[in-house]
Amino acid sequence: MSRSDPGEVRFSVRLTPRGGADRVDGVVEGVLRVRVAAPAVDGAANQALVRLLAGELGVARRNVRLVAGTTARTKLVAVNDLPVEHLVARWPGIRV
């Protein structure tokens, strides 16, 4: 389990910008697959990812942040104030 502090859960996301729509495609080999309509220009795709994950998990956008991979397709995301059990129940197979 990857946690830097007790109220934070971290997981990997494989992001596809310009994916036609903002949606979660599921978990593949422990990594969450996500596509967003926004291009990977000026952080637009990263912002769309944060908005989408916050909405999917029912947390405020300020509780979702990119820890690593801002310019890469695979990103490390941290979410505050989210029980690990909630994340695993939402996306079975995700590696946290």
Establish if 27 belongs to a structural domain: yes
86 against 4, higher pLDDT: 86
Contact 73, 65 (CB under 8 A): no
Establish if 53 belongs to a structural domain: yes
Contact 80, 53 (CB under 8 A): no
Whether 27 shows a pLDDT value over 80: the answer reads: yes
What integer pLDDT is reported at residue 2 of this predicted model? Answer: 45
Establish if 3 belongs to a structural domain: no
Contact 27, 92 (CB under 8 A): yes
Q: If you compute the radius of gyration of the chain from its CA atoms, what whole number of angstroms results?
A: 12
Establish if 25 belongs to a structural domain: yes
Mean pLDDT to the nearest integer, 68-87: 95
Question: Looking at residue 58, which CATH number applies to its domain?
Answer: 3.30.1200.10
Residue 65 C-alpha from the chain's centroid: 8
Q: Which of 28, 24, 26, 63 is nearest to 36 (CA)?
A: 24
Give the tens place of pLDDT for each residue, 36-74: 999 999 999 999 999 999 999 999 999 999 999 999 999
Establish if 1 belongs to a structural domain: no
Confidence of residue 6 (pLDDT cuts 50, 70, 90): low
What integer pLDDT is reported at residue 21 of this predicted model? Answer: 95
What integer pLDDT is reported at residue 5 of this predicted model? Answer: 58
